[in-house]
Amino acid sequence: MIKLTNLLMIVGIVMCMFPFNDWYFCFARFIWGLAVGAFTVFVPKFITETSPTEMSGFLGGASQTLCCTGILVPSLLGLAIPRGTAGEVVPIGDFYVDMYWRYAWLLGVAIAVL
């Protein structure tokens, strides 16, 4: 189930990277959200079923810590987007910052592939 959820995550992220309209983007975020929600169920269950009894508490806590880290890291990546004085997005050479979030989401694809 975790491997299928990884596939669902990749599909959701790739769909989000190329939104055709607002409804498509909402649907893509829904798919991605299903994958994230499924991970919060499947991973702790997998840890409980496979870890030795004396390690299950530590590993469960590590899972929750890494889940929170997974929320923190994308938020920190969002801080790297430069803004102008009036809040407008500032272009950097050929790389326009309005595309930055798409490249930041590729990190999620890389993690899912691993």
CATH number for the domain harbouring residue 91: 1.20.1250.20
Provide the residue range defining the domain that includes 107: 2-113
Q: How far apart are CA 107 and CA 77, in angstroms?
A: 10
Mean pLDDT of the chain: 81
Q: Can you tell me the mean pLDDT for 72-94?
A: 64
Query: Looking at the 3D structure of the chain, how many domains does it have?
Result: 1
Q: What are the tens digits of pLDDT across the range 35-45?
A: 989 988 898 89
pTM of the model: 0.70
CA dihedral 113, 66, 24, 6 (to 10 degrees): 30
CA-CA distances (angstroms) from residue 75 to 24, 55, 108?
A: 23, 31, 13
pLDDT of residue 84: 54
Question: Of 36-40, 59-63, 87-91, where does mean pLDDT reach its minimum?
Answer: 87-91
pLDDT band at 83 (very low <50, low <70, confident <90, very high): low
Residue type, 112: A
- pLDDT given at position 94: 46
